[in-house]
Structure 1
Amino acid sequence: MIRTAALAALLASTALSSAAMAQTTPAPAPAETSGGGFATSDATDPYLWLEEVDGERAMAWVREHNERSLGVLRGDPRYETLHRQALEIVQSRDRIPAPGFNHDGTIDNFWQDATHVRGVWRTTSLDSYRTAEPQWETILDFDALAAAEGKNWVYKGATCLPPDETRCLISLSDGGKDAVTIREFDRSTRTFVDGGFVLPESKGGASWVDADTLLVSRDFGPGTMTSSGYPMIVKVLKRGQTLDQAQTVFSGQPTDVAVSGYTLRDADGVVQATLINRGINFYESETHRLNADGTTTQLQLPAKSNINALVQGQMVVTTDQDWTAPSGQQFKTGDVIAWDLQRWLADPATPAQLVIRPTDREAIEGISNTRNKLVVALYENVRGSVYVYEPNASGEWARTRLDLPQNVTVGVGSASEQDDRVFVSVAGYLNPSSLYLADAATADADVVKSLPAKFDATGMVVEQFEARSADGTMIPYFVVHKGDMPLDGSNPTLLYGYGGYQNSLLPGYSATVGKLWLERGGVYVVANTRGGGEFGPRWHQAALQQNRQRAHEDFQAVALDLQARNITSQPRLGVMGGSQGGLFMGAMLTQRPDLINGAVIQVPLFDMLRFHKLLAGHSWIAEYGDPDIPEQRAWIEQYSPYQNLRADQPYPEVFIHTSTKDDRVHPGHARKAAARLEELGYPVLFYENTDGGHAAGANLQETARRLALEYTYLSRRLMDSPAQE
């Protein structure tokens, strides 16, 4: 997805059973109203000092909590085994190297293991890649680079200039932050270019126009960043110029989320349009064409839309709203439409062709293109298939289905622009990942690589149920468990959720969940709540802003349904989620603590009255609303976990973790949550990785430690006898 991926990178892995009616016990009323109460203003928040990321007092607090929590969890006799297993999995070389097509048909890959902790960028031929032991050549070793330069470099991607892809822009992050340093690299010599492009650390990015020209969006100094902390200005930077000499070609508004530039190229790498994306909010944007004379022209596209691909001269767009085109045509939310690009640029009233109109229980989870075809991952009831679309002479789009396994998760990977080959990944909760190389021209697909099982799934099954939410909407969820599981409420169960930003939770193979939880008798549940994208844009939009509580109720309904089916019970049910999912966990904790006996709250949002003032938070107003507007503040205040923590509630001991280097979701959210819980007299475990960024792991060792801590905690809460507590 061309525009979605660019903006997301700036901002931002059985038959349906008839469901038993879930209980509909209302959430307990808060013990007190939060209006005028705790942390409803700066003056009433005693823990603002914990928002000072590297403040001396704050870091002393972090060190104290780390020492205590690590002492508890690493002191558990299960920790060492879980840590060893997690480390073996994350450092295993027995993984499928994610392939990326180059213009010459060779394959690139970024790889991390015990030897390459920070990772290595490497390349091989397609024939070699298909063998059991490919012969890799190193392009850039990031461990060696970090050591040579004395830096804590984390690789954040490369953008290479078509068509020969020799010159690349490498993004390097200090410790995993979203902010990156960008440096020009020569693939042919495998060295950084002496005197080449270098952009100092900033949030933002750069895109090639030609060998001597970049479109740059970054921090150019005071007044050049939005309120969300992302670039507001796009400049054209010529080789040899300083950043101060770059020409401004577009300026957004301080209230925008972000502004960025990119090129729309054909399969031969020829630029067909140079475009500016102005993200007005997280979901609405404008696309402007940069003209030859340096002026810009706004293109007539829906505010909620994404440019997905350019194939055979056809620009493919997804609309996330009902829309009347300049041609007078009516399109619906979720439609995929296409125009002949050059005709449309010349005349916006050029009719569009409808490519796909998903049904209510379908969702498009990925769109890519080969040289001649459009390749789409289309899901029905959270099960995926891959279809190939191609325009015919009359402009209509015919489709065929790739020959792939059914009832699985499919992912469209790298596609060749020299021919019609495309990599497709296939996996399920109990099905180790397989990689297929498909020919979109013939619909044939062959297994290139497949993984052995990483845990013993003998006797395990996957079931899909539905829970009835408070407003009657049926919410699907998956349950992974041993087939002989007793239905007596005794099963330790981990319920995972996210529920935001149109991100779908699709069935996937997790070796760590399998080894550290399922194999040990745990049950794993994934809730496909509203706010996600499992059924397209409408499923997401149903839980936006004033309707956010619907997503919380969906998650709670799944917890109730699990207990109604006697799959588990309160002493055996724990929940887990990160980032927006951390907010989910906070809402469960404050609204329905009677349903759970544990919660893993990862890099969370928690203080929703201040989220928009911290780091990238302002960019999320379109998702949650604006706390500075009284009407919107009122609905946010109803569920904001930080303000709704109360004394004398049945809160279980929770495990909260975050990262000091997270420059997306401020670590202050997690710190303040822990401090408030302790003030109210509740036990809490808190761990802050002092490296790592929003992914909470700058290297594989830290990832393994985090996993071991989480599953040690869950074992203590859900597997031990309640009488032992």
Structure 2
Amino acid sequence: MTGILGTIGGFHVGAQKIHYPSTAKVDQHDIYHGVKVEDPYRWLEDDRSAETKAWVKKQNEVTFAYLESIPFRGKILADLERYFNYPKYSAPEKKGDYYYYSKNDGLQNQAVLYRQKGLDGEPEVVIDPNKLSADGTTVLKAFSLSKDGRYAVVGTSKGGSDWQEFRVMDLSTLGMLPDRLDWVKVSGVAWQGNGFYYSRYPEPRGSALAAKNENHQVFFHQVGSSQSADELVYEDRENPHRFHLASTTRDEKYLILYISDRGKGKDGNALYYRAAGAPAFEPVVTDITDFSYSVVDNVPEGFLLETNENAPRGKVELFRFSDKARQSVLPEQADPLKSVTTGGGKLFATYTKNVTSVVNVYSLYGVFERNVPLPGLGTVAGFSGEKEDESVFYTYTSFNYPPTIFRYNVAQGTSRVFRSPEVAFNPDDYETRQVFFKSKDGTGIPMFITFKKGLKQDGTNPTVLYGYGGFNISVDPSFSATRISFLDQGGVYAQANLRGGGEYGEAWHEQGMKLRKQNVFDDFIAAAEYLIGEKYTSAERLALQGGSNGGLLVGAVANQRPDLFRVGLPAVGVMDMLRFHKFTIGWNWIADYGSSENEDEFKVLYSYSPLHNIKAGGKYPAILVTTADHDDRVVPAHSFKYAAELQAKAGAPSDYPLLIRIDTNSGHGASNTRKALETAADLYAFMFRNFGLTWK
């Protein structure tokens, strides 16, 4: 065939020759500040066109033919299933006489939501998402209980989309009421009496999965009414690229309104509140800057606020109702404040010390009481509850410590294991080291390296280097059963804590955003050089992996240092840095990336954009791009255009495959357990095949 679905070039891996589908080019370009930029694959941005669907089909045929030819692919999937097949629980949430929690028996596509009376009661199923669709891709995204325990909002998404449908469940019968709310996205659920506040967009014009999302609105829904009767609480049509989010305090006395303007490059938010029954909002913070503010809880005098205003590592203040002034509760510490919660009448502050969790307990007014001893160097989440609760729950995990739920007695300050998963591995067989290496500019960068004990540092070990480096997100220690399977094959897993993340507070974040984004790539390159220099691996046995912003990271480093690694695994990556803000909520990322509409930021974006820096005739490592047809956060057009350009410019000269795997009925991440395991098996199969190794 010729034209869109013809072939170009080919290469050999062993005795196997792959022919890439050719991709039609169109005469399309844009002018940015006097610079002409060609965009020949613009047509792939139309996710609904027959041409795009045909292109997806042909690319998948080529990719899956390659993957199916790998003889040990099936064994990898079987191994991953064996390791992953153990019961997984969420921490329970108490409401009235019941505790609510989710449980996955092991390999269920979706976790099932249960409740039971007391901690020793008989469980009953509240909702089983596995029964909501034949293929198990309908996901329970929200379950929010009303304060009196009569109702719950049930939010579901289909096929991995970020769009949600809200329903209301009568908890006395576990039946759904007629209420049905559509076009919900970027929303919480804020109960007040027999109704709740939520955020939504107007019904999109054009593609629901690609059209730009504008005019975020806050509504109030009264249980038992239709969506058309919902009260519009807040909107701002003069600023269509703002987020408007609502929450209520635990006692439902106050409605809190958050307004952010990341589409204009601002990283913070304004904050308003409205007392129950009051006619209008009152301000806490009116100006949207790069400072963020969130209400932790309310006390009689006012709100406890978490903020980074003039405190890049975070602090807590009391906003007083009486004079609208603020006073210090928890001043900024040497370590970044990761989260603040309340429960049992106490304030729980989780700090990050060299990328591991430290939890301190304070009075609600900031008087230190004690530290919470943890099992080791890992990550915690939880410590939330009502003021009258005698205990709260938290989850602890680390690289060789499966997520374990603890029950913390607030009065005694003691923890005991509530639920511990039974995973088919011995944690004592594995070792994690935290190292610090120097990046290009001399900055010290932390990295965790995990492997099975007895590993020889002889440069031959298959190694995965994972990175993210963006949006103030900290990449913390966590457990992965499928990763244990890789370690048992002699693998090394390295997790680099790059600038741009939140590991050391806002200053660390700022060093890896906008005009300084190259620092993130330099950090990742230095991490790879460290692993090679210390003989954990070699360039021939190293794979770089990252998703979303991390997919951008892998794509950029592949252009800058293709000699440094053998396999690249960019997942759902932001690959077109000049047009990302034109799709769904992409404008939200301008605060981190900048915008091509700003000349100085354009120059930097254009200098590293993965799509625009592929070297014609360059030799690339093996690359398996992964994306999904229902990804409406980072639209698949990013990956489509990148793969087409990569194959066209580098397919013939490169010695290794340059492929794209497009999942169907999935979004920004796998939509069910089966898809997640199949994707992981294909990534390992691709990796080992191109390392020249066999999965034993």
For Structure 1 versus Structure 2, the TM-score category normalised by the shorter chain is 0.7 to 0.9
Distance in 1, Cα, partners of 2:195 & 2:412: 39
For residues 399-410 of structure 1, the aligned pairs below 5 Å read 399-410=369-380
1:695-706 to 2 correspondence within 5 Å?
A: 695=669, 697-706=670-679
Secondary structure of 1:445 counterpart: strand
CA contact (8 A) 1:456 1:519 kept: no
Is 1:259 the counterpart of 2:243 in the alignment? Answer: yes
Give distance in 2, aligned partners of 1:546 and 1:416. 44
Write the letter of the residue equivalent to 2:375: P
Number of equivalenced pairs: 650
For residue 185 of structure 2, what is the aligned residue in structure 1?
203
Residue range with higher mean Cα deviation, 253-262 or 711-720:
253-262
Q: What corresponds to 2:569 in structure 1?
A: 600
How far did 1:416 drift? 4.7
Amino acid at match of 2:260: G
Correspondence for 2:682: 709
Match of 2:535 among 566, 576, 595: 566
Maintained 8 Å contact 1:428/1:508: yes
Cα distance, 1:484–1:228 mapped onto 2, change above 3 Å: same
- Say whether 1:139 aligns with 2:109: no
Residue aligning to 1:57:
51
State yes or no: 1:272 paired with 2:253. yes
1:173 aligned onto 2:154: no
Are residue 367 (structure 1) and residue 340 (structure 2) matched?
yes
The CA deviation at 1:171 is 0.8
User: What SS does structure 1 have at the residue aligned with 2:87?
Assistant: coil
Matched, 1:73 2:67: yes
Structure with the larger RCO, 1 or 2 (CA within 8 Å, 6+ apart): 1
Distance change in 2, residues 1:681/1:434 (3 Å): same
Does the CA contact (< 8 Å) of 2:474 and 2:503 recur in 1? yes
> Where in structure 2 are the equivalents of 1:383-398 lying within 5 Å?
383-391=356-364, 395-398=365-368
Secondary structure of the structure 1 residue equivalent to 2:402 = coil
| Aligned 8 A contact 2:87 2:106 in 1 | no
Q: Does the aligned pair in 2 maintain the 1:259–1:276 contact within 8 Å?
A: no
Indicate if the aligned counterparts of 2:475 and 2:497 stay in contact, CA closer than 8 A: yes
Deviations 1:58-94 (A, max 9, x none): 111111111221121132121111111223344x2x2
Quote the Cα distance in structure 2 between the aligned partners of 1:444 and 1:457: 24
Could you tell me how far 1:388 is from its partner in structure 2?
A: 1.0
Greater Cα shift, 427-436 or 581-590: 427-436
* 1:289 corresponds to: 273
**1:653 Cα deviation after fit:** 1.6
1:294-345 deviations in Å (ceiling 9; x for gaps): 33232237842232521644633222231xxxxxxxxx22232231x5xx23
The CA deviation string for residues 648-694 of structure 1, in whole angstroms up to 9 with x for no partner, is: 32311201110101110100111111111110132312111111211
Gaps (5+ residues) in structure 1? 1-35, 129-133, 323-331
Task: Tell me the residue number matched to 2:103.
Answer: 111
Runs of 4+ in 1 over 6 A off after TM superposition: 36-43
- Per the TM alignment, residue 161 of structure 1 is displaced from its structure 2 partner at its CA by 1.3
CA, structure 1 residues 413+65, in 2 after alignment: closer, same or farther (shift >3 Å)? farther
Q: Which residue in the other structure is 1:191 paired with? A: 175
Equivalent position of 1:214 in the other structure: 196
Residues 347 and 582 (structure 1), Cα distance of their counterparts in 2 relative to 1, 3 Å cut: same
Change in 2 beyond 3 A, CA 1:644/1:37 = farther
CA distance in 2, matches of 1:660, 1:115: 24
Contact 1:425 1:434 in 2 (8 A): yes
Question: Which position in structure 2 is the counterpart of 1:329?
Answer: none
Which residue is equivalent to 1:95? 87
Aligned to 1:14: none
- 1:701 maps to amino acid: R
- After superposition, the Cα gap between the structure-2 partners of 1:640 and 1:427, relative to the gap in structure 1 and judged at 3 Å, is same
Structure 1 577/320 Cα, relative in aligned 2: closer, same or farther at 3 Å? same
CA 1:240–1:508: 2 relative to 1, 3 Å: closer
Aligned-pair CA distance for 1:500: 0.8
C-alpha distance in 2 between matches for 1:145 and 1:367: 35
Q: What SS is found at the alignment partner of 1:711?
A: helix
Task: Return the alpha-carbon distance in structure 1 between the equivalents of residues 204 and 484 of structure 2.
Answer: 49
1:13-32 alignment, distance < 5 Å: none
1:288 Cα deviation after fit: 1.8
Q: Go from structure 1 to structure 2 and tell me whether the alpha carbon gap of 1:216 and 1:458 turns closer, same or farther (over 3 Å shift).
A: closer
CA contact (8 A) 2:245 2:258 kept: yes
Is the counterpart of residue 154 in structure 1 residue 136 in structure 2? no
- Is the Cα contact below 8 Å between 2:542 and 2:566 reproduced in 1? yes
- 1:531 and 2:500 equivalent? yes
User: Amino acid of the residue matched to residue 128 of structure 2?
Assistant: D
Moved more, 593-602 or 53-62: 53-62
Whether the 8 Å contact between 2:271 and 2:286 is mirrored in structure 1 is yes
Matched, 1:345 2:337: no
Q: Distance in 1 between matches of 2:228 and 2:28?
A: 48
- In 1, distance between residues paired with 2:570 and 2:175? 42
Match of 2:297 in 1: 310
TM normalised by structure 1 equals: 0.84
Residue pairs, 1:408-423, within 5 angstroms: 408-412=378-382, 414-423=384-393
3-state secondary structure, aligned to 1:520: coil
Does residue 680 of structure 1 match 2:649?
A: yes
SS at match of 2:650: coil
Does 2:290 match 1:298?
Answer: no
Which residue, 683, 689, 693 being the options, matches 1:720? 693
Q: 1:74 touches 1:709 (CA, 8 Å); kept in 2?
A: no
Q: Contact 1:263–1:272 at 8 Å: present in 2 too?
A: no
Matched residue, 1:354 = 329
- Residue 690 of structure 1: aligned partner: 664
| CA apart distance, 1:711 | 0.7
How far is 1:607 from its partner?
A: 0.7
d(CA) in 1 for partners of 2:295, 2:532: 42
Q: Per-residue deviation at 1:231?
A: 4.5
Following the alignment from structure 2 to structure 1, what is the Cα–Cα distance between the partners of residues 500 and 237?
27
Which protein is richer in strand relative to its size?
2
Is the contact made by 2:204 and 2:211 (CA closer than 8 Å) also made in structure 1?
no
- What secondary structure, in the 3-state scheme, does the structure 2 residue paired with 1:535 have? coil
Q: Is the 8 A contact 1:124 1:137 kept in 2?
A: yes
C-alpha distance 631-690 of structure 1, shift in aligned 2 (>3 A): same
Deviation at 1:573, TM superposition (A): 1.1
CA distance in 1, matches of 2:104, 2:399: 23
Q: Is the 8 A contact 1:435 1:448 kept in 2?
A: yes
Residue identity in the other structure for 2:677: A
Matched, 1:637 2:568: no
- 1:151–1:174 CA contact under 8 A, matched in 2: no
Between the aligned partners of 2:61 and 2:31, the Cα distance in structure 1 is 31
Q: 1:522 to 1:612 in 2, by over 3 A?
A: same
Q: Deviations over 1:468-515 (max 9, x none)?
A: 111111001011123433333222111000111111111122111111
Question: For residue 8 of structure 1, what is the aligned residue in structure 2?
Answer: none
1:475-486 to 2 correspondences below 5 Å: 475-486=445-456
The residue type paired with residue 136 of structure 1 is P
Write the letter of the residue equivalent to 1:662.
D
Residues 257 and 538 (structure 1 numbering): CA distance in 2 closer, same or farther, change over 3 Å? farther
Which residue of structure 2 lines up, in the alignment, with residue 319 of structure 1? 307
Specify the alignment match of 2:412 in structure 1.
442
AA of the residue aligned to 1:300: V
Partner of 1:497: 467
- Name the CA shift for 1:409/1:248 in 2 (closer, same or farther; >3 Å): closer
Q: Deviations over 1:627-660 (max 9, x none)?
A: 1122211111111010000123231120111010
Residue identity matched to 1:384: S
TM-score, normalised to structure 2, is 0.87
Deviation at 1:548, TM superposition (A): 0.9
Superposed CA RMSD in Å reads 2.8
CA distance 1:240–1:505, change in 2 (3 Å): closer
Give the 3 Å change call, closer, same or farther, for CA 263–383 of structure 1 in structure 2: closer
Aligned counterparts of 1:213 and 1:457: Cα–Cα separation in 2: 47
Query: Residue 662 and residue 592 in structure 1: after superposition, are their counterparts in 2 closer, same or farther (change >3 A)?
Result: same
CA distance in 1, matches of 2:233, 2:409: 41
**Contact conserved, 2:87 with 2:103, CA < 8 A, in 1?**
no
Could you report, residue by residue, the CA deviation over 1:162-204 in whole angstroms, capped at 9, with x for unpaired residues?
A: 1x222111111121211111111111110011x4x32123424
| Aligned residue in 1 for 2:442 | 472
